[in-house]
């Protein structure tokens, strides 16, 4: 998805290692490539690109990351995120995502249908302090990240549930049906245009074909 929309990861190969800061920088640039105007508008309003689940930002590296990737008015602990909408989903209506209507959906959350076309950076939902800085300080992790591309078929064949635990069987059937439609279109033999019928009359040809 990221490589389709942006070129910020194109220079990396599988198992290349990059720093946390470098990964954040590349991810932010990818979102800017998608929609810079929308990104900066949400950034200036205080929405978080980087999740930090503490209001005690005293560590020098955490101070640096918070200033570089979040706005000066972002509140901590963060409870917002920058979300880029690709289009307005047809389910973006209160009757679909209000908690009173949870019974309509079989999933664990009712507002998942309002997220169609959303693009998030990912790190607005991954606590920088708990998942990066603390393990690094305790020397359980180096702090570096490994780049690894997942083939489309791997996700398509083995991912069975969505983020809200809804089964993906219907979605897979739909994709398969659409793919087959495209395959059939390539096999269609184009019809040859009909020849105009003519008949001779007094040494003249009268065109009987109609437009």
The pLDDT tens digits for 38-87 are 999 999 999 999 999 999 999 999 999 999 999 999 999 999 999 998 76
What is the residue extent of each domain of the chain?
A: 2-159, 160-187
Phi, psi of 40 (to 5 degrees): -70, -30
C-alpha of 24 from chain center: 16
Residues 47/74, Cβ–Cβ less than 8 Å: yes
The pLDDT tens digits for 17-38 are 999 999 999 999 999 998 999 9
Supply the DSSP symbol for 115.
G
Average per-residue pLDDT for the chain: 79
Q: Which of 38-47, 129-138, 180-189 comes out lowest in average pLDDT?
A: 180-189
Give the number of other Cβ atoms within 10 Å of residue 162's Cβ. Answer: 14
């Amino acid at each position: 998805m990221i490589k389709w929309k942006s070129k910020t990861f194109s220079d990396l190969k599988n198992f290349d290692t990059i720093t946390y800061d470098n990964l954040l920088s590349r991810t932010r640039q990818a979102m800017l490539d998608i929609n810079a105007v929308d990104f900066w508008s949400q950034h200036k309003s205080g929405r978080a690109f980087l999740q930090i689940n503490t209001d005690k930002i005293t560590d020098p590296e955490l101070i640096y990351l918070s200033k570089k990737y979040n706005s000066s008015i972002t509140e901590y602990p963060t409870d917002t995120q920058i979300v880029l909408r690709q289009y307005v989903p047809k389910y973006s209506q209160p009757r679909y995502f209000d908690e009173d209507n949870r019974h309509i959906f079989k999933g664990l959350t009712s507002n998942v249908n309002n997220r169609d076309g959303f693009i998030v950076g990912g790190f607005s939902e991954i606590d920088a302090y708990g998942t990066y800085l603390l393990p690094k300080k305790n020397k359980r992790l180096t702090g570096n990240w490994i780049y690894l591309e997942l083939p489309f078929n791997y996700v398509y064949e083995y991912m069975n549930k969505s983020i809200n635990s809804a089964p993906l069987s219907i979605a897979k059937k739909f994709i398969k049906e659409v793919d087959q439609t495209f395959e059939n279109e390539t096999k269609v033999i184009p019809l040859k245009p009909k020849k105009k019928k003519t008949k001779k009359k007094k040494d003249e040809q009268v065109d009987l074909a109609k437009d």
